[in-house]
Amino acid sequence: MKNSPTTTGCVLSSVATAEYPAIHGMIGWYNYNRERNIDYYTLLFKDRKNKKNLEALGIKSQDIYQCDSKMNKLKRKITALFPEGIVDSNFSKFVLNKNRIAYYNIEEAFKKVTENIQKNINIQTFTYLYLPYVDAKSHKNGVYSKEVRNVINEIENELTKLKE
């Protein structure tokens, strides 16, 4: 099956925790918490019915994100780059509790990755870059659309620049 890589809550949580969804509990875009009888968006940290932030309902991040993110425990300098709108979200804070950098578009994201690499050239680092664009365009336009191809080409161009 030809398809774009998924960026659902279960896969992103698996990347952060190095655990399977059956262990970390994020099984998809939506989850259900039996103890609190709440149906919620995993990445948005919001109730599906009323769109309220789960914190407003007395639910803490650790109640939902039950496994620790491995990124917070790596023995090197970790940096995570997220789109500006989610850099301080509950999920982004779960992935990495410090050294999160916001970006506004693909070009700026890769520019900031390059600057981070150059600034830390003599130490061990790990840089996590979350790019939601292929997934978003795939949902809106279809995986074989011109819009998705354009985003993939833009990312490939930026990767070429980064390599150079």
> Would 12 be classed as within a structural domain?
yes
In angstroms, the CA 72 to CA 94 distance is 9
Give the tens place of pLDDT for each residue, 5-25.
455 788 889 999 999 888 988
Give the tens place of pLDDT for each residue, 52-65.
999 998 888 888 88
> Would 14 be classed as within a structural domain?
yes
**What is the total count of domains within the chain?**
1
> Would 16 be classed as within a structural domain?
yes
Q: Is the pTM value of this prediction over 0.85?
A: yes
Token pair belonging to 36: 């609190």
Residue 58 structural domain: 1-68
Give the tens place of pLDDT for each residue, 109-136.
999 999 999 999 999 999 999 999 998 8
> Would 128 be classed as within a structural domain?
no
> Would 121 be classed as within a structural domain?
no
> Would 46 be classed as within a structural domain?
yes
> Would 126 be classed as within a structural domain?
no
